[in-house]
Homo-oligomer: A and B are copies of this chain.
């Protein structure tokens, strides 16, 4: 499996990389997932029982410290990146140049 290199470099400042995953809440129907499941079945992958599709976002941000980065990313998720009515979000944060 291919592995991914770390993010870009910015003038030696503290850049954090957030990897955010946004998924539909379990109670919400996933027509896109059902469509992919149908395609997999037509390609012969009958063993597939269910498919759920979500988004992954890598965000590089430049902040003073880890807590500030975490608070800001959480706010970005609540305000823009995830729809709180139908989606759940989670993220991990790494210190990276």
If the complex has contacts A23-B56, A60-B49, A62-B47, are A81 and B36 also in contact, measured as CB distance less than 8 A? yes
State whether A54 touches B53 (Cβ < 8 A).
Answer: no
State whether B5 touches A56 (Cβ < 8 A).
Answer: no
| Alpha-carbon distance A53/B57, docked complex (angstroms) | 5
- Name the interface size band of chain A: 35 or more
| Alpha-carbon distance A81/B19, docked complex (angstroms) | 20
Within 8 Å CB of A2, what residues of B? 88-90
Contacts from A to B (Cβ < 8 Å): 1-5, 7-8, 10, 15, 21, 23, 26, 33, 36, 39-40, 43, 45, 47-63, 72, 74-76, 79-81, 88-91
